[in-house]
Amino acid sequence: MLYSAYELAYAAVAPARIAAGVGAKFWRSPMNPASGSWMARSTAAALDVFENVMRRYPKPEWGLDTTLVNGVSVPVRVEQVERKDFCTLIHFARDEKALKKAKGSNQADPAVLIVAPLSGHYATLLRGTVEAMLPEHDVYITDWTDARHVPLCAGRFDLNDYIDYLIDFMRTIGPGVHAMAVCQPGPALLSAAAVMADNGDICRPLSMTIMGSPIDARRSPTVPNKLSEERPYEWFEQNMIFTVPAPYAGAMRRVYPGFVQLYSFLAMNSDRHMNAHYDYFQHLVQGDGDSADKHRNFYDEYLSVLDMTEEFYLQTIRDVFQEHSLAKGTFKHRGRTVRPEAIMDIALMTVEGENDDISGIGQTQAAHDLCTNIPPKMQLDYIQPDVGHYGVFNGSRWRNEIQPKVADFIRMAEKEAVKRPAIRLAAE
């Protein structure tokens, strides 16, 4: 019922939202003789804020048309490499001729699969992550599908399916891929790598970089971690899961709605978001277009959300945040225990933010304790001072301090990879 009520409320407020948009344009119109007055600016700003708060935010565009390589602009084309019901493998293909000219050689850059989180936001939230990796890497990313658009006939999608998707995508990219899990998918990537290593899969990644992720959520528990443990599994099942209404393609599918997740995010930092919108109002009144644009760009991304399937959300709550099964060595994939100790030749880097209020210090580091057979020279643990969760993968600290270390680590893993027979033969 909540989902239907949400849709009805959105429809009910539509006339007021449209009227607000028209009103804002009227008060700003150069044809309006009062447009330069304080009253007109304030009224237009208030209507603009109302319209932005009440509207629905569609999936954002990537907007990555070029990248700079050695100071040369190289065109980038976003390609769909493999499309599945619940995810599409995206490739940011750089123009080969321009890339060769910029680099002065045909030497291939390392292929990197960025595993985007399936936690309420679209993969475009990692635009800054992709942008920083593009100059020196051949970048792929998992673009997760909004579950409300997936018909019931497509079947279920749970954490085990998620792991299978990652394995399939790494096989599609081929031997020599590097994998980077940002936030929530750390346990899934670690599990996929362990399964591939256990099977001797030649497409297992050369390296894993796991960033701000709940590998072991018992360490330095944060507010979301404590909430997941304090509430019984049945509470999440009864209070967080709703049915997609018509006319969506996924009508009757049981999901954890994106708008519920969004309200949870907003509630965690309500004062910050209220102040941000008040500042936005002031910027509009003052005519500070640059600051207003920054606000709009951020919230166009932040307020754009997707639904998760019931089975994926609940299994993640149970296995990752309540039972901590991967950390305890009891997690099973398709009936087989996942063994991180089977990983011997996949380099492992973990990155954490000092002020992360989502995944506390030590939760990501736990991956090193589980992967007991990776040589020490192929492991790196890094804590970035003075950044929170978002700063681990976006912003100036990511671009200037974290990403260069990730790039160096990937190069190190490339050198170590020549010891793998399959990689060595391919290179020869």
Which pLDDT tens digits describe the chain residue by residue (428 residues)? 788 887 777 778 878 888 888 888 887 888 888 888 888 888 888 888 788 777 787 889 999 999 999 999 999 999 999 999 999 999 999 999 999 999 988 888 999 999 999 988 899 999 999 999 999 999 999 999 999 999 999 999 999 999 999 999 999 999 999 999 999 999 999 999 999 999 999 999 999 999 999 999 999 999 889 989 999 999 999 999 999 999 999 999 999 999 888 777 777 677 877 887 778 778 878 888 888 888 877 777 878 899 999 999 999 999 999 999 999 999 999 999 999 999 999 999 999 999 999 999 999 999 999 999 999 999 999 999 999 998 999 999 999 999 999 999 999 999 887 666 554 333 33
> Measured between alpha carbons, how far is 400 from 187 in angstroms, rounded to an integer?
27
* Residues 312, 296 share a domain: no
In a domain, 250, yes or no: no
- CA dist 99 and 102 (Å) reads 5
Same structural domain, 16 and 92 = no
Same domain, 95 and 14: no
Which residue, 336, 362, 414, is CA-closest to 136? Answer: 414
CATH number of the structural domain spanning residue 373: 3.40.50.1820
Residues 219 and 318 placed together within one structural domain of the fold? yes
> Both 292 and 320 in a single domain?
no
> 200 and 87 in one domain?
yes
CA distances (Å), 149 to each of 41, 250, 350, in order?
40, 5, 34
Q: Is 199 found in the same domain as 100? A: yes
Domain tally, the chain? 2
d(CA 338, CA 216): 15
Residues 291 and 350 in one domain: no
Among 284, 302, 320, the domain boundary falls at: 302
In a domain, 247, yes or no: no
Strand partners, 350: 210, 381
Residue 350: closest CA among 363, 362, 365: 365
Q: Is residue 243 part of a domain?
A: no
Structure tokens that stand for 53 in this block? 């708060």
The tokens describing 185, both together, are: 């998918």
Clarify whether residues 329 and 371 are in a common domain: yes
236 close to 377: Cβ distance less than 8 angstroms: no
Would you say residue 242 lies in a domain? no
Query: What is the spatial distance between Cα 225 and Cα 356, in angstroms, rounded to a whole number?
Result: 12
For residue 15, give its domain range.
2-56+258-302
pLDDT digits (tens, 9 = 90+) for 32-75: 888 888 888 888 888 887 887 777 878 899 999 999 999 999 99
Residues 355 and 388 in one domain: yes
State whether 314 and 295 are in the same domain. no
Contact 419, 345 (CB under 8 A): yes
Q: Which of 248, 270, 302 is the last residue of a domain?
A: 302
Same domain, 103 and 131: yes
